[in-house]
Amino acid sequence: MTDRVSQAGPQGAPLAGIGLYMVALTGVVGTNTMGKITIVDIPIWQVVLAQMAGLMIAAFVFGRTLRLDHLLQTSHPRIQVARTLCQFGAIVCFYHGLPHLRLADITGIMLLLPLAITALAALMLDEKVGWRRWAACVTGLVGALLIARPGMTGAHPGALWPFATVVLFAMYTVLTRKISADESAPNQIAWAALATVTVLGVASPTYWVAPGTTGWIGLGAIALMSGIANSARIKALALAPASLLAPFGYTQIVTATLVGLIVFDDLPDAFSVAGMAIIVLSGLYVWHRERVRGTTT
């Protein structure tokens, strides 16, 4: 998830921005790792609640206020509600797919997100996307299918959940673009987190399982790392342009592979490695076209 940064000052510290962006990416992998561990014993809804609580805290920190009414002032209430629903659905789909894929595999599929955003921006925002970038988007999808391999022997149907996550997060991002000129990053985070925290908090008696010590540590770590990841991303984008930071996003696959090996004793197979390579190359090509194309491809 990426929210617009308040343009309060110039982007003048690119190395610091890159460092903070790497912290953010590490936080994402850490959140996913703890989620994969925690959902073995804790209901998904409880894990989602912890993650969104972390985002809510980040909104207060960056908004520099505890006045929720100030954070929620908006000129686009309908779009804010739609963004909230997309983010909520994306996170729920992600956690449904998490038990059925290696950490590196689900991270690889999530790297489709920039490609999906490119496609949806063309459809929803009338942004011009030429045939080269459309070809890169389709090629990236082929790479993701190599990772999930739906219909092949041994493939679990649950491996398709991350594809729904990508679509919903892409819709969330495109809707965020529509209001980014009018709404601050803390405002957007607060809107996206509050409804989920409120609904899941009220409904908690229907799903809540009293965690043991390990469970509380897992939920706390998810909330903390989620908040740190989003805070670091916001600060990184305030210090360095998105075009500079974008390629570093693909380092997640290296981190996820190492963590998956150490924590879960999992390594991607040859099909998954090939799929990840295809997605990364497709994404880098789209990034390259964004830098050189101007307004048309």
pLDDT per position as a tens digit, 79-90? 989 998 998 999
Cα 275 to chain center, whole Å?
A: 19
On whether residue 203 sits in a domain, the answer given is yes
Q: Which residues contact 273 (CB under 8 A, 6 or more apart)?
A: none
Segment 48-76 shows an average pLDDT of 87
On whether residue 1 sits in a domain, the answer given is no
User: Which of 131, 65, 93, 109 has the alpha carbon at shortest distance from 279?
Assistant: 109
pLDDT digits (tens, 9 = 90+) for 15-28: 898 999 999 999 99
Question: Cα dihedral sign for 130, 112, 160, 195?
Answer: negative
Mean pLDDT of the chain: 85
In the prediction, which pLDDT does 152 show? 61
Cα 72 to chain center, whole Å?
A: 22
On whether residue 5 sits in a domain, the answer given is no
Segment 234-240 shows an average pLDDT of 82
Flag whether pLDDT at 2 surpasses 80: no
Number of domains in the chain: 1
In the prediction, which pLDDT does 291 show? 76
Quick one: which H or E segment has residue 250?
none
pLDDT digits (tens, 9 = 90+) for 135-156: 888 898 898 888 887 656 556 6
On whether residue 66 sits in a domain, the answer given is yes
User: Which of 156, 186, 13, 178 has the alpha carbon at shortest distance from 86?
Assistant: 178
Total-model pTM: 0.82
On whether residue 6 sits in a domain, the answer given is no
One-letter amino acid identity for 174?
V
8 A C-beta contact, residue 271 and residue 108: no
On whether residue 8 sits in a domain, the answer given is no
- Structural domain containing residue 69: 14-292
Residue 214 CB neighbours (<10 A):
12
